[in-house]
Amino acid sequence: MRIVTKMTEDKNIKKRIEAMINLPDKVEAALNGTILTLKGPKGENKKNISNPILILNVEGKKITITTIKTTKREKKLVYTYRAHIKNMISGVNEGHKYILKICSSHFPMNVSVTNNQLTIKNFIGEKYPRVLQLKQGVNVKIEGNLINIESNDKELAGTAASDIEKMTKRANYDTRIFQDGIYIINKDGKDIK
């Protein structure tokens, strides 16, 4: 992947910023209006890329993002959308995985997943369970004291992981002493300490 600056024919516009992304062999791309669709071995991923400053092109195994102006703002937009498309490509090719750890030292916590709902029972001795409705496209599995979240969309996987972590967050408690809760320990292959 590279960013190339090209000269245009228009006299008013001196330069144009262009980012080219090469697709892997197993990934196919299609552009329908402003919706970019990628298909790969792990499924399909769609994203609405509607920005009047950007021009998106799909030709065979190449995706091109172009801007008319060369200001810092447009350059940042090109890099941002390039990063989003790279995340989509890795999602449909390999998938995204987040791992959370269940820590319960004071009260035994019971975590279960049924019918796209994650339920936490007996968190710090509460009588009523905490329930989170999971979004479609996210697979959540509980293995012992670990929660595995998998999805081909990085934003969905990250949102589900942060929502689960927020369910057990307590204000005004020192986490070094009171460690009960569910914490993200691995984000897409990178350990968090």
Q: Stretch 42-60: mean pLDDT, rounded?
A: 89
In this predicted structure, the answer to whether residue 5 has a pLDDT above a threshold of 80 is: no
pTM (2 d.p.): 0.82
What does the longest C-alpha to C-alpha distance in the chain come to? 71
Could you tell me the domains of the chain? Answer: 2-93 (3.90.930.12), 96-191 (3.90.930.12)
* pLDDT tens, residue by residue, 118-159: 999 988 888 999 999 999 999 999 999 999 999 999 999 999
Q: Which of 127, 177, 3 is nearest to 76 (CA)?
A: 3
Which H or E run includes 114? strand 110-114
